[in-house]
Amino acid sequence: MIKKKTKKKKTIFDTSELEITDEIRGALEVMENTHDTVYITGKAGTGKSTLLKHFCRNTTKKIAIVAPTGVAAINVGGMTIHSFFKFPFGILEESDVEFLYSKKELFQNLDTLVIDEVSMVRADMMNAIDLSLRKNTGNVNLPFGGVQVIMFGDLYQLPPVVTSTEDREHLIQTYDGVYFFKAPVFIALELRKINLNKIFRQKNDEVFVNVLNNIRECRTTQTDLVALNDRVRVYDEKLGPAILLATTNRIVDSINKTELEKIKQKEYTYKYEVSGDFDIKKSPAEQKLKLKNGAQIMMIKNDNQVPRRWGNGTLGTVLALKKNKIIVSIGKEIHEIEKATWDDFEYQYDAEEHTVERLSKGSFMQYPIKLAWAVTIHKSQGKTFDRVIIDLGRGAFAHGQTYVALSRCTTLKEIYMKKPVRFSDIILDDEVRDFHT
């Protein structure tokens, strides 16, 4: 096992790495200086992920970070909820919550549990988290066993995944709903909600911001639809790279495969590398990356250099390929791309230092690139694009789907709609609206 410790934390008030606003400063104060259970939310592009990473890097508290999916956990530098608590897959019952003797010291010394993408956490999973923390801290009468829980997410975006009608009915009968806030722990526990309002992604397009806000809260007007449907037009490839957002994996896979086959060039395959103990099911990048010269690609990890050359979601074009070399153009610049490393972490309590240590138990290495003529709306969540083509197919079918698709782009004038948006494409679950009012 690789025992790679994270570097020493700085003070929480070193905010040089993010744009500080009064609401972000207030959120940092609450997270660091109180023991409140906190839900931090905000519209798309308000800096939730940046705030989470800043807090986790700089806090003086003993923390662990978890997320509901493998990719989300890897990207935030934490563990999956299932791995951290040793939960089985599927709907969780009380009998699935175990006493974890090997983690006894960790749980009993943990100050704060940070949960990312909490909007995708079901009620049964949140209930199991509460029960596990009570059981493993020994504080059975305290919500979350006395551990502070800080949650990040946006319930107005895509909902938790419930795979069958039977599971949905079970959750409704047991918890009166599927969302995390339906867990019994919140009946007596006061949840402090912090809403980030300043939008960074579309900050230069006030009309678009207003349209997005109305779609988000299902207050869409005819004027909003007119503004959106003015963008129903054919995309001209001469304008530069654009990515198509579609509703299903089948559509996306077909587009990417077809476009790659159109290029009559040699195909190169780049395989991943793993060191240590890395769960390959959590692969954050392609296990076999297939590319050709001229292929449209997307960067899938923020650049580490300062100033940053690309972000997660930046589009580019392959210029040259060799056995161990990929050269791409991004805008007017040309870059040789190196393999990136993603770590799979675990947490241990260091009794000598009285600290919770985050250790890398394994690493995944691959070029931070994927084919990107198209991507699903679901997988686009959290990314920012300069230019998008949106294809809702037969229409949106999920809560938040249209909002997520539209809010990926930085400006309305760079959105190209395949078909007009209808009022029926704006879907909001009433439970989400009620929770926020």
In which residue are the tokens 């394994």 written? 362
The pLDDT score that the predictor gives to residue 1 is 42
- Among 196, 229, 261, residue at a domain's last position: 196
**Domain membership flag for residue 127:** yes
Indicate if 56 and 136 belong to the same structural domain: yes
**Domain membership flag for residue 349:** no
The predicted-structure confidence for 315-360, as pLDDT tens digits, reads as follows 999 999 998 899 999 989 999 999 999 999 999 999 999 999 999 9
**Domain membership flag for residue 351:** no
Indicate if 123 and 34 belong to the same structural domain: yes
C-alpha count within 13 angstroms, C-beta hemisphere, residue 13: 4
**Domain membership flag for residue 436:** no
Indicate if 146 and 93 belong to the same structural domain: yes
- Exposure string (b/e) for 100-128, b if CB count within 10 Å is 16 or more? eeebeebbebbebbbbbbbbbbbbbbbbb
Indicate if 261 and 299 belong to the same structural domain: yes
Indicate if 256 and 179 belong to the same structural domain: no
**Domain membership flag for residue 356:** no
The pLDDT score that the predictor gives to residue 46 is 85
Q: Is the dihedral of CA 380, 230, 250, 291 positive or negative?
A: negative
Q: Residue 17: is its pLDDT beyond 60? A: no
Q: Residue 112: is its pLDDT beyond 90? A: yes
Could you give the percent of the chain with pLDDT greater than 70? 96
Q: Residue 402: is its pLDDT beyond 80? A: yes
C-alpha count within 13 angstroms, C-beta hemisphere, residue 139: 14
Q: Residue 108: is its pLDDT beyond 60? A: yes
Q: Residue 9: is its pLDDT beyond 70? A: no
> What predicted TM-score, i.e. pTM, was given to this entire model?
0.90
The predicted-structure confidence for 167-218, as pLDDT tens digits, reads as follows 999 999 999 999 999 999 999 899 999 999 887 777 778 899 999 999 999 9
- Among 136, 166, 196, residue at a domain's last position: 196
Higher-scoring residue by pLDDT: 239, 84: 84
Q: Residue 425: is its pLDDT beyond 60? A: yes
Indicate if 214 and 181 belong to the same structural domain: no
The pLDDT score that the predictor gives to residue 237 is 86
Is the separation of the CB atoms in 162 and 127 below 8 Å? no
The pLDDT score that the predictor gives to residue 202 is 73
The predicted-structure confidence for 354-396, as pLDDT tens digits, reads as follows 999 999 999 999 999 999 999 999 999 888 898 999 999 988 8
Indicate if 182 and 77 belong to the same structural domain: yes
Whether the bond between 307 and the residue before it is cis, its omega within 30 degrees of 0, is: yes
The predicted-structure confidence for 232-280, as pLDDT tens digits, reads as follows 999 988 888 899 999 999 999 999 999 999 999 999 999 999 999 998 8
**Domains in the chain, number:** 2
The pLDDT score that the predictor gives to residue 18 is 60
Indicate if 381 and 401 belong to the same structural domain: yes
Closest to 107 measured CA to CA, from 153, 54, 55, 144 = 144
**Domain membership flag for residue 437:** no
* Residue 28, domain CATH: 3.40.50.300
172 lies in which domain range? 4-196
Indicate if 191 and 296 belong to the same structural domain: no
Rounded mean pLDDT, 105-130: 97
Q: Residue 314: is its pLDDT beyond 60? A: yes
Give the mean pLDDT of the chain: 92
- Among 167, 196, 225, residue at a domain's last position: 196
**Domain membership flag for residue 354:** no
Indicate if 132 and 249 belong to the same structural domain: no
Q: Which two tokens stand for residue 10?
A: 């700085």
Indicate if 172 and 249 belong to the same structural domain: no
